[in-house]
Amino acid sequence: MTDRATEILAGSKTIAVVGLSRDPAKASHGVAAVLQAHGFRIIPVHPSADELLGEKVYRSLTDIPEPVDLVDVFRPSEDTPPIAEQAVAIGAKALWLQQGIVSAESRRIAEEGGLDYVEDRCTAVVRAVANLSVR
């Protein structure tokens, strides 16, 4: 039996990663690289980088010129409500707060905006357990 988080990730092909770090030692970089290696399209969102993981970087979700299935967030909990608002504004299908990140306000914004919502889970772990790849 699959859980809802697995279903959400399995239904996603294009993932905007908010807070993707330049530092390969950081979790956000490693998780995004793993997802990319398994065929997911990664769109980095970072305030000052130009390219990460070989992809053009956008300053905010609203700058991304293509549809996004999943917004994967690596930012402190208190920073996530505006990201949730942007995810709703761009018509993303889901908002996912990474392991250790929880926000009742972001959950409310996402769910009221019609988005699926996951918090305090790691996309790379969910991907590995379910053996998900996009090809």
41-75 confidence digits (pLDDT tens): 999 999 999 999 999 999 999 999 999 999 999 99
Please tell me whether residue 58 adopts helix, strand or coil conformation: strand
Q: What is the mean pLDDT of the segment spanning 5-15?
A: 97
Question: What is the arithmetic mean of pLDDT over 111-117?
Answer: 98
- Beta strands 94-97 and 55-56, pairing class: unpaired
- Is the Cβ–Cβ distance between 12 and 93 less than 8 Å? yes
Q: Which of 25, 19, 16, 5 is nearest to 80 (CA)?
A: 19
User: Does 1 have pLDDT greater than 90?
Assistant: no
The CA distances from residue 118 to 51, 84, 127, in Å, are: 27, 12, 14
Distance from C-alpha of 79 to C-alpha of 103, rounded to nearest angstrom: 9
65 in Cβ contact with 57 (< 8 Å): no
pLDDT surpasses 90 at 107: yes
The pLDDT of residue 20 is 96
- Looking at domain 4-130, its CATH architecture is 3-Layer(aba) Sandwich (3.40)
Q: How confident is the model at residue 2 (pLDDT cuts 50, 70, 90)?
A: low
Q: CA of 43: how far to CAs of 32, 53, 65, in Å?
A: 9, 9, 10
Ranges of each domain in the chain: 4-130
Burial of 134 (0-12, 13-18, 19+ CB in 10 A): middle
User: pTM of the predicted model, to two decimals?
Assistant: 0.96
Q: What is the mean pLDDT of the chain?
A: 96
Q: Sorting pLDDT into bands at 50, 70 and 90, what band is 100?
A: very high
- Cβ atoms < 10 Å from Cβ of 65: 7
